[in-house]
Structure 1
Amino acid sequence: MTLDRSLCTLAVAALTVVTAATPARADLGGSYHCRVRVHGTIEDRYLASGAESGPLGCPLASERAAWNGGRYEDFAGGSIYWSPDTGAVIVKGAIHDHWYADRRCIGYPLADEGPAADGGRTQSFQNGHVWLSAAGDSYSATC
């Protein structure tokens, strides 16, 4: 009996190792990028931006809950925020840093950042925008 128990334990251990190495199952939704699962509209936006080869790079952790029913996922080069009203939008760099402090006031992002008329960068949010000067030394946020 001792031999049978050892073989059974060995078989279960081998099965566990094989299962852990199996690629993501389709019924779980999403797929793995840099060993982190990304799914839903956040994954759609991530793939459209170039996934691991794009400006966001690899995901740092799985998707999490945000305020007012939203969701977000952090990546090496920024974050993707999603809400039922705005969809999935990328926020990154200095704009992300400034927005993050006022995020509950200024709301979720409406569109990815783009060029400002003065050569800086700007991004629109539900309740205003964040503007960063071309030199990157000043910003403004409105609520």
Structure 2
Amino acid sequence: MRYIRHAASAGALTVLAVGAATVFSPVASAAPNVTPQSVCGSAYKTVNSAAVGSLGTIYLTYNSANGKNCVTTIRSNPGTAKDMSTYIYVADTGEWADDYGRFTSYAGPSYVYAKNFCVSWGGHIDNISVSVDNTNCASLKEHRVTEIR
């Protein structure tokens, strides 16, 4: 009887130790699988992109069914919230959309109607900003600028 009680006590202590290790151990979290389509919508196809240094990428997408562009800035390594932004502008119509704040993985989505129009777009992550002007139109040459603040 004494042996059974010691075995039961040892088993209970093992369960307690494993449970405590599970509760108090650091949790490994996988980076979310963020894509331009998961942010903008599955009907949006990527038509252009710009690297934000090694911090992430800004994606310009287009939905041919509704004539809208969407832009989103996605971090390479999600984590602690950082200053981020995304914007898109249609000069011919004056339509503008943006998103700015502190985000853990992405900024946006920002949408504008831009069927048959050139768009300017960009954003930033932390201290690196990118602007891309006059894109996705045959008449003007695209102009890209990356700045480190």
User: TM (normalized to structure 2)?
Assistant: 0.29
- Per residue, is there more strand in 1 or in 2? 2
Q: Comparing both chains, which one has the higher relative contact order based on Cα–Cα distances under 8 Å and sequence gaps of 6 or more? A: 2
TM-score by length of 1: 0.29
Larger Rg belongs to: 2
